[in-house]
Structure 1
Amino acid sequence: MKLYLALPAVFIVATLSQGCISNKKFTELQSSYAQLQAKNQDLDLKYQTSQQALTGATTRVRSLEEQIASEKVNVLSLQDALNKCLNSSSQGNVNISKLVDEINSSNKYIKQLVNAKNKSDSLNMVLTNNLTRSLSQSEMKDVDVQVLKGVVYISLSDNMLYKSGSYEISDKSGETLSKIAKIITDYKDYDVLIEGNTDNVPISQPNIRNNWDLSALRASSVVQALQNIYKVDPKRLTAGGRGEFNPIAGNDTEAGKVKNRRTQIIITPKLDQFMDLIGKAPENK
């Protein structure tokens, strides 16, 4: 990618070395170079987003594969016990029947785990594609989207979402919130938690006692915007504040504080939908 960006620079130097060129031509070359730089930045951002999604998917696959491997070991153990019972006395006939049932149950559970992995991966891919496709590259700078085990985590920076030093929704956040509201509406059977988070700097605003208040007020502002402006069913919405006590970075640097000042929109399947995804483990007897 860097090689493509270097070519315009080489071309400009080569041209200048051949003789003077007009200011207009030089400006055009500079503009072309700037456009290529911007395109490279967009491609880098897409790559980072894809890497995050891949990391999450790899973790899910590894977890399910470990469960499958464990169940396969259990099946081999049960099969070995069955073989021993076949060589024992007639008293072992009772145990044989029980072992056969356990083996069949374990095999069924393995199939359920495999199906759950496939369903989970498919669901996560659909959710991720729908979200990232609807957001522009500029919006993605202030929005972090992750899908883990069927749960969508949308993290919005406070700079994009709120007016400076306030819990009121800013005008520039409207377009992004409208797209997120569309996703929430499309997945109408999912519950939505709006969770406010702050850094550890004490708030000094009238009628706001501390960061608990600020985080809860910000979450409430987003909930009310989704309900009143974008017509999301309020029965699906929950507003919560976690203050400064759920950091994702250190508060000892300004960059870390910026990451911690965020509002998360968490879209989760209901309990019966989780059971449809992962299946039900066989009962131990």
Structure 2
Amino acid sequence: MNIRFLLSGSLMMVILGTGCVSNKKFSQLQSSYNELENRNRALDGKYQECQRNLTGASTRVQSLEEQIAAQRTGLASLQAALDKCLNSTSEGNVNISKLVDEINASNKYIQHLVNTKNKSDSLNMVLTNNLTRSLSREEMRDVDVQVLKGVVYISLSDNMLYKSGSYEISSAAGATLSKIAKIIMDYKDYDVLIEGNTDNVPISQKNIRNNWDLSALRASSVVQSLQNDHGVDPKRLTAGGRGEYNPIASNDTDAGRTQNRRTQIIITPKLDQFMDLIEKAPESDSTKPVAPRP
């Protein structure tokens, strides 16, 4: 109920109850009424202000509740993402562990290959030293010895072996062939292929049609020298010619053609004989140091 109406009713009751009042008393009552009315208006204003504040507070509460709900949704998403990340990390750790194992296995295999190659290189070096230890420094200038996969290649230059433009063995080649024959005879169970090679310059000799003929004749001359002059069993020997078709250098230069004009003595041990070969040195000149290559 409005205080204004309450005061008005009270004032009327006083007037009716007393019949009449003095002007002074009436003025006092009127003043009290006015004061109470002012207080009522002030309280009413505060009430309206409280209502507005309450409405604003309710709006803010609703906004905060919406923000809280959004934060909870975001937190749930973050938790799901974290769980997924943890699962992925766990799977990744397993994959990394497998990858590390594979890398370690690969490293072991690579090390095995390196060790095998080093062992092969060492065996080839020992075998090469055994085969060349009886050759002098001068002879090594015209003799090249290589060991590839257990096969021995002794390459002899034609300048040392033959007379110029001929397939006849020169007298200067006798001493070198004698030492090579000794090497061949020391390893008597191995087959020996004598292979002739030429450059691509056409040959113009009687009874020699081309470089095929020349290479084959030169190989045959070495075979017969090893057999007749140095006692190598001919059953072990094979002569072959490859003409100009197995070059090791370019035929466009004098130096390249010189390299291509060569005769190779190829010693092919069986696999079970290769290990014995590296432990066995030629019987003669076994204490002579290996001559360095020029």
Normalising to structure 1: TM-score of the pair? 0.54
Q: How many residues align?
A: 175
| Residue number in structure 1 paired with 2:248 | 248
C-alpha distance in structure 1 between counterparts of 2:119 and 2:235, whole Å: 27
C-alpha distance in structure 1 between counterparts of 2:272 and 2:217, whole Å: 31
C-alpha distance in structure 1 between counterparts of 2:209 and 2:265, whole Å: 24
- 2:269 is aligned with 1:264: no
**Secondary structure of 2:235's match?**
helix
* CA deviation profile, 1:55-75 (whole Å, cap 9, x unmatched): xxxxxxxxxxxxxxxxx9699
What does residue range 63-74 of structure 1 map to in structure 2 within 5 Å?
none
**Secondary structure of 2:152's match?**
strand
C-alpha distance in structure 2 between counterparts of 1:143 and 1:134, whole Å: 12
- 2:153 is aligned with 1:153: yes
| Residue number in structure 2 paired with 1:204 | 204
Question: Contact 1:157–1:262 (CA<8 Å) still a contact in 2?
Answer: yes
C-alpha distance in structure 1 between counterparts of 2:179 and 2:172, whole Å: 13
Normalising to structure 2: TM-score of the pair? 0.53
| Residue number in structure 2 paired with 1:195 | 195
Which amino acid in structure 1 is aligned with residue 264 of structure 2?
A: Q
C-alpha distance in structure 2 between counterparts of 1:120 and 1:135, whole Å: 24
Q: Where do 5+ consecutive residues of structure 1 fail to align? A: 1-71, 78-106, 278-285
**Secondary structure of 1:152's match?**
strand
**Secondary structure of 1:192's match?**
strand
- 2:204 is aligned with 1:239: no
- 2:242 is aligned with 1:230: no
CA RMSD of aligned residues (A): 3.0
Shift in Å, 1:135: 1.0
Taking only the aligned residue pairs, the percentage that are identical comes to: 84
Which amino acid in structure 2 is aligned with residue 131 of structure 1?
A: L
| Residue number in structure 1 paired with 2:138 | 138
| Residue number in structure 2 paired with 1:162 | 162
* CA deviation profile, 1:211-259 (whole Å, cap 9, x unmatched): 0000000000001111111111111111110000000111111111111
User: For the structure 1 residues 276 and 205, does the alpha-carbon distance in structure 2 shift closer, same or farther, using more than 3 Å as the test?
Assistant: same
Shift in Å, 1:124: 2.3
Larger radius of gyration: 2
Shift in Å, 1:132: 2.5
Shift in Å, 1:118: 7.8
| Residue number in structure 2 paired with 1:129 | 129
User: For the structure 1 residues 273 and 132, does the alpha-carbon distance in structure 2 shift closer, same or farther, using more than 3 Å as the test?
Assistant: closer
| Residue number in structure 1 paired with 2:219 | 219
Shift in Å, 1:173: 0.2
* CA deviation profile, 1:188-217 (whole Å, cap 9, x unmatched): 121111100000011111111100000000
User: For the structure 1 residues 118 and 186, does the alpha-carbon distance in structure 2 shift closer, same or farther, using more than 3 Å as the test?
Assistant: farther
User: For the structure 1 residues 152 and 208, does the alpha-carbon distance in structure 2 shift closer, same or farther, using more than 3 Å as the test?
Assistant: same
Which amino acid in structure 2 is aligned with residue 262 of structure 1?
A: R
Runs of 4+ in 1 over 2 A off after TM superposition: 72-77, 113-127, 270-277
User: For the structure 1 residues 114 and 254, does the alpha-carbon distance in structure 2 shift closer, same or farther, using more than 3 Å as the test?
Assistant: closer
